[in-house]
């Protein structure tokens, strides 16, 4: 199963509810929300109040990507706001195990995110505790950047390692995913594609989501992947 997670970061912020409903109707699997604090990354974005508002507009799982320092402080507020999946960065916490456990104790899916230069081996001791892994394929902070080509090998290596460890953990990839590179990234081993500007900066966002779903379904059917 390959999933498509539109990121509303590139939507018109005055019409976020409509963007979420559009993504839902077009067949999106998750709604990805980028939370930035102006410290871990230079940009500043959205908080729990936004999640609580869009919670009322869709039944899709809400996937909160915490690009913040001290992510532990934000787990409970986003849980209470209705986030279903919560990921935090390995670079942002000294107590990854404790934080991931906290997310799971709230009954939410716990993800661990890695910046492009962070080695996958940092996940070794936590593999048994996480529900998904988020590989950043741009340096976090803004939408609309280009996919960093070396991330393809990183995805392949992570996929191979997870297979070897018999760890059934989906790989989410975030940054620079477009219609023209989606298939290659899926074939490298990505399970969940986050796409912001490719969807919401396009003239027909619903059409892009439907096309991404078609590509994902085609790749998922192949036995050699």
Would you count residue 205 as binding ligand DX5 (CB under 6 A)?
no
Would you count residue 89 as binding ligand DX5 (CB under 6 A)?
no
34 tagged catalytic: yes
Classify 25 as helix, strand or coil. helix
Q: Can you tell me the distance from the alpha carbon of 212 to that of 14, in angstroms, rounded to the nearest whole number?
A: 25
The two structure tokens encoding residue 83: 């986030």
- 211, 193 in Cβ contact below 8 A? no
Pick the stretch among 55-63, 101-109, 161-169, 172-180 that binds Zn ion (CB under 5 A).
172-180
The two structure tokens encoding residue 152: 């393809």
The two structure tokens encoding residue 40: 């871990």
Q: How many residues bind ligand DX5 (CB under 6 A)?
A: 21
Burial class of residue 157 in the structure, from the number of CB atoms within 10 Å of its CB (0-12 exposed, 13-18 middle, 19+ buried) = middle
- Edge-to-edge order in the sheet of strand 85-89: 3-6, 192-195, 171-174, 132-136, 109-114, 85-89, 62-67, 31-36
- Phi, psi values for residue 156, rounded to 5°: -60, -45
Q: How far is the CB of 98 from Zn ion (least distance, A)?
A: 23
Out of 37, 63, 99, 174, the active site residue is 174
Would you count residue 84 as binding Zn ion (CB under 5 A)?
no
Q: Can you tell me the distance from the alpha carbon of 60 to that of 89, in angstroms, rounded to the nearest whole number?
A: 23
Residues numbered 63-82 forming contacts with Zn ion, rule: CB under 5 A? 65
Among 174, 186, 188, 189, binds ligand DX5 (CB under 6 A): 174
Containing 192, the helix (H) or strand (E) segment is strand 192-195
Would you count residue 71 as binding ligand DX5 (CB under 6 A)?
no
Pick the stretch among 51-59, 97-105, 117-125, 193-201 that binds ligand DX5 (CB under 6 A).
193-201
Burial class of residue 190 in the structure, from the number of CB atoms within 10 Å of its CB (0-12 exposed, 13-18 middle, 19+ buried) = buried
174 tagged catalytic: yes
Would you count residue 37 as binding ligand DX5 (CB under 6 A)?
no
Out of 29, 34, 63, 191, the active site residue is 34
Would you count residue 194 as binding ligand DX5 (CB under 6 A)?
yes
Among 11, 26, 29, 34, binds Zn ion (CB under 5 A): 34
Q: Which residues lie near Zn ion (CB under 5 A)?
A: 34, 65, 174
Q: Which residues lie near ligand DX5 (CB under 6 A)?
A: 7, 9-10, 32, 34, 65, 138, 140-141, 143-145, 174-177, 194-198
Active site residues: 34, 174
């Amino acid at each position: 199963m390959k999933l498509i997670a539109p990121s509303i970061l590139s939507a018109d912020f005055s019409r976020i509810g409509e963007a979420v409903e559009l993504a839902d109707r077009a067949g999106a699997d998750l709604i990805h929300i980028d939370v930035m604090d102006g410290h871990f990354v230079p940009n500043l974005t959205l908080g729990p109040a936004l999640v609580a508002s869009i919670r009322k507009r869709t039944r899709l799982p809400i996937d909160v990507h915490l690009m913040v320092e001290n992510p532990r402080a934000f787990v409970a507020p986003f849980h209470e706001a209705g986030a279903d999946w919560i990921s935090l960065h390995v670079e942002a916490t000294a107590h990854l195990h404790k934080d991931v456990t906290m997310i799971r104790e709230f009954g939410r899916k716990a993800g661990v995110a890695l910046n492009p230069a962070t080695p996958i081996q940092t996940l070794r001791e936590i593999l048994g505790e996480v529900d998904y892994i988020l590989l950043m394929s741009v340096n976090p902070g803004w939408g609309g950047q280009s996919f960093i080509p070396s991330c393809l090998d990183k995805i392949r290596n992570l996929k191979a390692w997870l297979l070897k460890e018999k760890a059934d953990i989906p790989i989410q990839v975030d940054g620079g995913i477009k219609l023209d590179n989606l298939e290659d990234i899926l074939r490298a081993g990505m399970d969940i594609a986050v796409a912001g500007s490719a969807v919401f900066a396009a003239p027909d966002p619903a059409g892009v989501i439907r096309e991404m779903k078609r590509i994902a379904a085609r790749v998922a059917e192949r036995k050699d992947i």
